[in-house]
């Protein structure tokens, strides 16, 4: 089974076998690649809504890797659907691939190269340089903005 991200529909990714996605992907595609979505849905593509507990697990994994601020609600739910269905996630999104690695999910890329290694991001204060393991809006020491950086 493969769980398809929006990019699979946009890039006209061809897949054989069982396919699933989430209802939020349909909403994202309303104006662009909806025709491809409708064709796959007509041929048996499954729409899956992940359980809240699984969504929370994905959110925890995203905080662990430092990708929580990079993932949309749709991204989190796609990861949760792939986790629940024990499926391969089809995406070109690097943050999703990073979190998928944390969750031991298989990933298939579409048009880009996949990630070489998982990254657990840090956040550095632009004012005083202090480094945090988790995302915060501002530095607790000087109040300056934080930026995501590779450790």
Q: What is the pTM of this model?
A: 0.73
The C-alpha R_g of the chain, in whole angstroms, comes to 17
Q: Of all residues in the chain, what percent carry a pLDDT higher than 70?
A: 86
Q: For position 42, what pLDDT does the model report?
A: 63
d(CA 30, CA 10): 11
Q: For position 75, what pLDDT does the model report?
A: 96
Is 123 or 58 the better-scoring residue by pLDDT?
58
Q: Which domains does the chain have, with CATH numbers?
A: 2-108 (3.40.50.1010), 121-151 (2.20.28)
Q: Are 101 and 90 in contact (CB under 8 A)?
A: no
pLDDT tens-digit profile of 44-67?
789 999 999 999 999 999 988 889
d(CA 61, CA 51): 16
Mean pLDDT, the chain, integer: 85
Write out the H or E segment, with its range, that includes residue 89.
Answer: strand 88-90
Mean pLDDT calculated for residue range 79-90: 97
């Amino acid at each position: 089974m493969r769980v398809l991200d929006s990019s699979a529909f946009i890039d006209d990714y061809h897949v054989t076998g069982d396919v699933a996605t989430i209802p939020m992907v349909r909403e994202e595609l309303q104006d662009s690649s909806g025709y491809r979505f409708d064709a796959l849905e007509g041929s048996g593509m499954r729409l899956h809504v992940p359980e809240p507990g699984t969504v929370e697990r994905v959110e925890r994994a995203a905080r662990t890797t430092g990708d929580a601020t990079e993932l949309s609600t749709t991204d989190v739910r796609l990861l949760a659907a792939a986790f629940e269905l024990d499926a391969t996630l089809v995406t070109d999104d690097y943050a999703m691939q990073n979190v998928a690695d944390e969750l031991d999910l298989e990933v298939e890329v579409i048009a880009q190269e996949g990630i070489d290694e998982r990254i657990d991001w840090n956040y550095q204060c632009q004012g005083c340089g202090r480094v945090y393991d988790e995302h915060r809006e501002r530095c607790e020491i000087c109040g300056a903005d934080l930026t995501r950086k590779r450790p």
